[in-house]
Amino acid sequence: MDFRRIEIIFLIVFVSLDVFLLLSFRNSQQIVTSSSTNTSTVSEMRKRDISFGKLDTKSGSAYYLGSKPNDALVNNVGKLRDQEFQYDESSHKLTSSLNTPITVTKDNRVKKINEFIKKESNVLFGTQYKYSPQQSTSSQIVFSQTDKDLGEVYDKTAQLTFTVNDDKVTGYTQTYIHDLMILHEKEATKSEKDIIINLYANSEISNNSKITYANLAYAKLLEAKGSTIYIPVWFVTIQNRDSKVNSLKKVNAFTGNVIKSSTTGEDYSE
């Protein structure tokens, strides 16, 4: 009789031990699977009234690019019509004023200029430039040079800028890269989500703001041996919802480091 009681006590002890073991086993497995910190950062940002669309988590790849200064613009100025121009030999910049200004409105200005630059007698290599809303202002319409394989270059050395005065486009300045060289095999770049989280972690995104635009483009890193070196940079436009002021943030797409305009001395948006 006693032995039977012992058996029952043992049974109860072992069953409860099993339950305990099963629970701790499941616990240990759950910890392994729940370790994503990124999602929590994103929800924290939403709590602080920072709004943004769906963030792309895919990381791409890009190159180190190099270019040497060239005189392709001045060598082809003979093709231009109905404008007066000056060429600065040290900065390789073409400044042109149009004989007949183009009348534009706020809504049609991009469309009109886009048509204008298609013609070689209006703008040299015009088909290689693409409208860049992030760099444009109400008085300037900025186009950036775009390579069909490598993408856009946001830099003073590859820019076409139209000046708008009283709804009239009076002229433009242009710089041009003749030959982009790939200097190093392609490397992985950070995804849109990575860099937004980095910006937030570096206190670059204030509360109650909206991320309106994020774009990956090549930008100047440095000059060495008479060449300009470009790296991929994420350009992120952040709008403060109260003041409606836009600010443009730059992040090195290879490293994810925030590029501070003051430290590099470079202002990509000019």
Partner 1 sequence: MKFSRLIVQILLVFAVITSVVLSYFIWTNTARYQRGRNVDVTTTESDKNKIPINQVISPTQVIWHDGTDQRLIYNNEENISFSVQNVMNDWKFDRVTRVFKKDGAKYQKTIQKHNAIQLVYPTAITVRTLGYLLNSSTLKHSTDYSFNRIIINLNDKTDKNIYLANDSNYAVYKVSVRDAAAEPILKLAKKANIDLKVRLNLMKHGVFTFYTEPIKMRTYSYVIDEKQDREYTTALFDSNSDDLVTSQDGDVYTYNYSETKRLISDHDKGELTFYDYTDTSVPKNRLAFYQRGYNKAVNLQSSVSNLRLYDADWNDKDLVFREYVEGFPIFKKSQFGSIKISFSRNGTTEHFLNKVLEVPVPSSNSETTLKSTTSILKGLDKAGYSVNDIQDIQAGYQWESESENQNVVDLTPTYYIKIDNHWRPYQDWTNESAEEG
Taking the least distance from each CB to partner 1, the nearer of 119 and 260 is: 260
Q: Using alpha carbons, select from 170, 173, 140, 248 the residue that is nearest to residue 204.
A: 248
The answer to whether 259 and 204 have CB atoms below 8 angstroms apart is no
- Select the residue interacting with partner 1 from 46, 49, 121, 181 (CB under 8 A): 181
The answer to whether 229 and 222 have CB atoms below 8 angstroms apart is yes
Taking the least distance from each CB to partner 1, the nearer of 24 and 75 is: 24
Q: Cα 245 to the chain's mean position, in Å?
A: 18
- Select the residue interacting with partner 1 from 44, 49, 84, 187 (CB under 8 A): 187
Cα separation, 197 vs 188, whole angstroms: 18
- Select the residue interacting with partner 1 from 165, 183, 233, 241 (CB under 8 A): 183
Residue position matching structure tokens 């602080």: 48
- Tell me the number of residues near partner 1 by CB under 8 A: 40
Cα separation, 82 vs 97, whole angstroms: 9
- Select the residue interacting with partner 1 from 10, 115, 201, 261 (CB under 8 A): 10
Quick one: tokens of 109?
């200005």
Cα separation, 206 vs 215, whole angstroms: 20
- Select the residue interacting with partner 1 from 116, 229, 241, 264 (CB under 8 A): 229
CB of 8 to partner 1, least distance (A): 6
Instruction: List the interface residues with partner 1, window 235-264 (CB under 8 A).
Output: 255-257
- Select the residue interacting with partner 1 from 152, 155, 192, 194 (CB under 8 A): 194
What does each C-alpha distance from 267 to 131, 211, 239, 270 come to in angstroms? 18, 20, 19, 5
Examine residue 1 and tell whether it contacts partner 1 (CB under 8 A): no
Quick one: tokens of 8?
């029952």
Instruction: List the interface residues with partner 1, window 58-87 (CB under 8 A).
Output: 63-64, 66, 68
3 exposure class (CB count in 10 Å sphere: 0-12, 13-18, 19+): exposed
Examine residue 17 and tell whether it contacts partner 1 (CB under 8 A): yes
Cα separation, 15 vs 183, whole angstroms: 67
CB of 200 to partner 1, least distance (A): 15
Q: What residues make contact with partner 1 under the rule CB under 8 A? A: 4, 7-8, 10-11, 14-15, 17-18, 21-22, 24-25, 28-29, 31-32, 35, 63-64, 66, 68, 181-187, 190, 194, 221-222, 224-225, 227, 229, 255-257
